Every structure is written in structure tokens, then in C-alpha cells.
Amino acid sequence: MNTTSVTSSKVHNFSAGPAILPQEVLAKAAAAVTNFAGKNLSLLEISHRSKEFVAVMDEAQALAKELLNLNDDYEVLFLGGGASSQFYMTAANLLPTDGTAHFLDTGTWSTKAIKEAKKYGNVNVVASSSDTNFNYIPKGYTVPSDGAYLHLTSNNTIFGTQLKEFPTSDIPLVCDMSSDMFSRPIDASKFGIIYAGAQKNMGPSGVTLVIIRKDILGKVERDLPSMVDYRTHIAKGSMFNTPPVFPIYVSMLTMRWVKENGGLAGMAKRNTEKADTLYTEIDRNPLFKGNVAAEDRSVMNATFNVVDEAHAAPFLALCAARNLDALKGHRSVGGFRASMYNAMELDSVQALVQAMRDFETANA
């Protein structure tokens, strides 16, 4: 543990999202805004149907499948509208009016997904941790064996919880992985749909990755708007309309970076080391306490608080003085939240731990 970061001008970016991206990705993204692919034109001003951008889209789709070890039963889309649009698009495409969609309710994002699905059919909540403001992941529930699909949220940014294992089900699994996409190896072939807003581990806001096992589509009788029907985008290779070119390019660069840094196993190693470093200090330091059941703690977003509320403001002030940025917890939880996405280096977490130790010493 060193304390060089205390005097460094490096900003340690703990933002929950939009969030930290690899420095080399940002450098390449900035360069492309000036001159893309040697064309003497900006990436922002070329046709999405130019061969240079078609190559970007192709590589982005291939990288997503390669990282997740998916075969051609799956299609990779990059859509606008945010993961919030997937809350209703999943139901619109998969849930018959007289059918039932099942949900594991782990708070906020799954709660929103439930609300939108109700507009299309019946909803059954298989389990919820709402009784304790979502500070754990419900377990021991009966996995439904019939119904349109089971919807999960793999990681909750606000409460700092994460599903460590995914159930096996005979019905399609639909999973919102917005905040831990590409952070760890998963058996992606278990899922019917995986969707993820880019702005955590993948790229800037403005694009959502949607991965679909094609055989689950076409089973609902509903005259959907073309843009809402996944089949529209699949038929056109995610180019039915002008896609969000720049966010897709940056996402492709980030997936390249993930691949070059050990793939999902490499990310899990990085992320576990960071999370272990922080949670160990949270548990050791008598001035702090974690929010979440230990076995459900998120490797991406650690939520914690001071034991003595009077310490909250001075601790945040110390963090600010040390360029430890965006650590204030979400308003619905309070306290602190340290988001440690793929691109965060261990030294940023070490700088936070050092601040916690120094705060302990100063308040002994």
C-alpha cells in the first residue's frame, strides 16, 4: 500500500455510471473524433454504411459473441434508447397478453422492469428483497418451469448487490446485466436475452447491447412498431436505422481491451482483487460498515456507510481532497458507494482504503 495517489492529480473515478473507461480506449476515441481510420474525416461525420463503420459494427458483434462464447443461435444488437427501453421491449416481444412473465425483484431496476411488463401481460414476482430495502439477493425461491420468461437483474448499482449464480430454468432467462456486463465469466448460453446499457463496463451512454437467442422470438401475436420488434433489427444487422455510431465504436474498443486483458476471466481477477481490497477494509475498519449481506456483495458497486453519522461529511470531504470522486451513495440508500468497474485500476481502490485508514487514525 502506497500513498502516492494522495498527491497525484489523477482523479479516482468511482462514478456508478456513466463510469470509468480504459485510458487507452479514451485516447483512441478522442483520436477518432478528429480523424477516423485515416480518412481525414471525423468518426462523427461519416456514413454508418461506410465500409469503415460497417467493419466496426461487425467487429463489435463478433467480440461480444467471442467474449461470451456464444454460437450463431444468438444475435448481437446495439440499440438506442437505454436499458430502460429494454424493460418494455423484452415484454413486448416475449410476453403474450394472456401469458406470465416471472421476475426476481432485487430493487429499482427490476422494479421498473416489472412495471413495464405489466402493460403487456401478467407478472409474477418469484421473490423480492424489498422487506429490507433490497440489501440482499433472495434465494431458495422456486424457479418457474412454465411462463414466458424469468427476468433477472444480475447486479444492482444502487444497493450494491449481485447475483453470484444464475438459476437454470426450462423457460427463457432474460437478464439485465447493465452494471456487470463483461465483468466475469458466465455461461451465456443459459440466457434467452441479455441486455446491458453501455455506460458501465462498455462505453459511453447512448447504446444498449442486446443479445438474443433467436429461437425465442416470433411466439407472440402483437403488431409491434418496427423499432420495438427485435426481428427488425436482427434482419438488418442492427442497422435498420442509423445506429449510435460513436457509442458503438467506443464499446468495440472496450471489448477489444477486455479481450487483450485476459477476457472475462482476466476481468474477474482484476475485479475480485479490487473488491476484496475494499470489503476487507470495510469489515476491518471500526468506523465503517457494509450495507449488504456479505455473500451478495457486488464486485462492481460497494455500498457502505459510517457507523457514526457525524463522520459522513468529513469523510466525504477527505475523499474530495484526495481526488476520490463520486463516492456519495444513491439518495435512496445514503452513505457511500464505490463503483469499481472493469477499467478501474487497483491503485484507485488502494487510495480509497488509505483514506479510510487515515480517517480512522484521525478520529481515533
Asked if residue 43 lies in contact with residue 245, where contact means CB atoms within 8 angstroms, the answer is: yes
Smallest gap, in angstroms, from Cβ of residue 31 to its own copies? Answer: 8
Taking the C-alpha atoms of residue 351 and residue 237, their distance in angstroms, rounded to an integer, is 44
Stretch of 93-101, 143-151, 221-229, 271-279 contacting its own copies, by CB under 8 A: 221-229
The pair phi, psi for residue 290, each rounded to 5°, is -80, 155
Given a contact cutoff of 8 angstroms between Cβ atoms, the answer to whether 147 and 100 are in contact is yes
Nearer to its own copies, 236 or 289 (CB): 236
For residue 132, the one-letter residue type is: T
Question: DSSP code of 328?
Answer: B
When asked if residue 307 is in the footprint of its own copies (CB under 8 A), the reply is no
Residue 329 and residue 125: Cα distance in Å, rounded?
27
196 binds its own copies per the rule CB under 8 A: no
Active site residues: 109, 176, 200
- Choose the stretch contacting its own copies; rule: CB under 8 A; options: 64-72, 140-148, 263-271, 319-327: 319-327
Select from 63-71, 218-226, 301-309, 355-363 the region that touches its own copies (CB under 8 A). 218-226
- Report residue 150 as a C-alpha cell: 424469468
CB of 202 to its own copies, least distance (A): 11
At closest approach, how far in Å is the CB of 164 from its own copies? Answer: 26
Q: What is the smallest separation between the CB atom of 124 and its own copies, expressed in angstroms? A: 19
x-marked contacts with its own copies along 239-278 as a string, rule CB under 8 A:
-xxxxxxxx--x----------------------------
Confirm or reject binding of residue 228 to its own copies (CB under 8 A).
Answer: yes
Q: Measuring CA to CA, which residue among 180, 342, 344 is closest to residue 352? A: 344
State which residue, 188 or 267, has the beta carbon closest to its own copies.
Answer: 267
User: In 3-state terms, what secondary structure has residue 60?
Assistant: helix
**Minimum distance from CB of 156 to its own copies (Å)?**
15
Across the chain, the runs of DSSP E, i.e. the strands, are 12-13, 74-79, 100-105, 122-128, 149-153, 155-156, 161-162, 173-176, 191-197, 208-213, 288-290, 301-306, 324-325, 336-339
Long-range contact pairs involving 31-37 (C-beta distance under 8 Å, separation at least 24): 32/246, 32/249, 33/246
Length of the chain in residues, anyone?
364
Quick check: 203 binds its own copies (CB under 8 A)?
Answer: yes
> Of 55, 119, 218, 321, which one interacts with its own copies (CB under 8 A)?
119
Task: Assess contact for 101 and 260: CB atoms under 8 A.
Answer: no
* C-alpha cell recorded at residue 114: 416489472
Q: In the structure grid, which three cell numbers stand for residue 206, read together?
A: 447512448
User: For its own copies, which residue of 122, 277, 326, 358 counts as binding (CB under 8 A)?
Assistant: 326
Cβ neighbours of residue 55 closer than 8 Å, sequence gap 6 or more: none
The interface region with its own copies, picked from 19-27, 124-132, 144-152, 211-219 by CB under 8 A, is 19-27
Q: Which of 74, 87, 288, 304 binds its own copies (CB under 8 A)?
A: 87
Residue closer to its own copies, measured from CB, 31 or 346 = 31
Least separation, in Å, of the C-beta of 244 and its own copies? 3
For residue 299, the SS3 value is: coil
Footprint on residues 149-178 left by its own copies (CB under 8 A)? none
Minimum Å distance from CB 230 to its own copies? 14
Q: How many CB atoms lie within 10 A of CB 71?
A: 8
Q: Residue 19 interacts with its own copies (CB under 8 A)? A: yes
Under the rule (CB under 8 A), what is the footprint of its own copies?
9-11, 13, 15-21, 26-27, 29-31, 33-34, 39-48, 79-85, 87-88, 92, 112, 115-116, 119, 197, 199, 203-207, 223-228, 240-247, 250, 323, 325-326
